[in-house]
């Protein structure tokens, strides 16, 4: 962010719960695109109320998938902002693993799962999207966002893989770190970039607004 000395803050909001979230099933961009459950709608509303009490938020950007658009709409209402959609914030495609639990994937596709956990270039579910591809699109989006919103606070509503990737990039951590982060439904994490582009993780998986 050449010429900018102000801090740019990214608020990372995971979408609220869906029926698949509650069952801990993989739900990517290649699946059924579920809507929020009743619990998820309450979570989205609670997140919106909490965010409205913060210092100014200048923009809201969301994944195009319905669970994120619904969550973002609830948050944006309290902020008085419109939601901008960006395809690069969509969840990974998990191929034939879509809708399965990790236990079911481990039982049916043990070698493929082991390869995916080991390497970011491995293709999940035979036809899905490697985590390296997720990182590439998320990183290019982040760079554009930092240039466009230098010195501002932006709410990002997305999914586990893109949000974990934003945290990983901020920390300069290896790809394997993605599997060592917990991001609960409707949780908020915060990453800040100073004027020289140095990132710091301020919070991770904050769910205090849901209690």
Q: Is 5 a known active-site residue?
A: no
% of the chain residues with pLDDT over 90: 94
- Candidate list 15, 70, 129, 159, residue with the active-site label: 15
pLDDT computed for residue 2 by the predictor: 44
Q: Is 182 a known active-site residue?
A: no
Q: Is the pLDDT assigned to residue 32 strictly greater than 90? A: no
Rounded Cα gap, residues 87 and 79, in angstroms:
22
Q: Is the pLDDT assigned to residue 5 strictly greater than 80? A: no
pLDDT computed for residue 10 by the predictor: 98
- Which residue ranges form the domains of the chain, and what is each CATH number? 8-210 (3.40.50.1240)
Rounded Cα gap, residues 101 and 106, in angstroms:
9
- pLDDT tens, position by position, 44-100: 999 999 999 988 999 999 999 999 999 999 999 989 999 999 999 999 999 999 999
pTM of the model as a whole: 0.95
Mean pLDDT of 15-25: 96
Mean pLDDT of 23-29: 95
- pLDDT tens, position by position, 120-174: 999 999 999 999 999 999 999 999 999 999 999 999 999 999 999 999 999 999 9
Rounded Cα gap, residues 114 and 179, in angstroms:
12
Q: Give yes or no for a contact between 115 and 122, defined as CB atoms under 8 angstroms apart.
A: yes
- Candidate list 17, 91, 98, 129, residue with the active-site label: 91
Band of residue 1 on the pLDDT scale cut at 50, 70, 90? very low
Q: C-alpha angle with apex 58: 54 to 64, nearest 5 degrees?
A: 105
Which of 34, 41, 30 is closest to 19 using CA atoms? Answer: 34
Rounded Cα gap, residues 35 and 138, in angstroms:
23
């Amino acid at each position: 962010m050449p010429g900018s000395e102000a801090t740019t803050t990214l608020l990372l909001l995971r979408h609220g719960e869906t029926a698949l979230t509650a069952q801990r099933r993989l739900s990517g961009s290649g699946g059924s695109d579920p809507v929020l459950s009743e619990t998820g709608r309450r979570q989205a509303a609670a997140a919106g109320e909490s965010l409205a009490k913060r210092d100014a938020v200048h923009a809201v950007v969301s994944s195009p998938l319905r669970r994120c658009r619904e969550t973002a709409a609830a948050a944006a209402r309290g902020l008085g902002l419109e939601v901008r959609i960006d395809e690069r914030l969509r969840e990974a495609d998990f191929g034939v693993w879509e809708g399965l639990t990790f236990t079911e994937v481990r039982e049916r596709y043990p070698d493929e799962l082991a390869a995916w956990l080991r390497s970011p270039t491995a293709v999940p579910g035979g036809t899905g999207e490697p985590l390296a591809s997720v990182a590439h699109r998320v990183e290019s989006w982040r760079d554009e966002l930092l240039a466009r919103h230098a010195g501002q606070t932006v709410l990002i509503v997305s999914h586990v893989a893109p949000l974990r990737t934003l945290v990983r990039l901020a920390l300069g951590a290896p790809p394997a770190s993605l599997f060592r982060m917990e991001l609960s439904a409707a949780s908020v994490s915060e990453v800040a970039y100073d004027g020289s582009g140095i990132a710091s993780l301020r919070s991770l998986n904050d769910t205090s607004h849901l209690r």
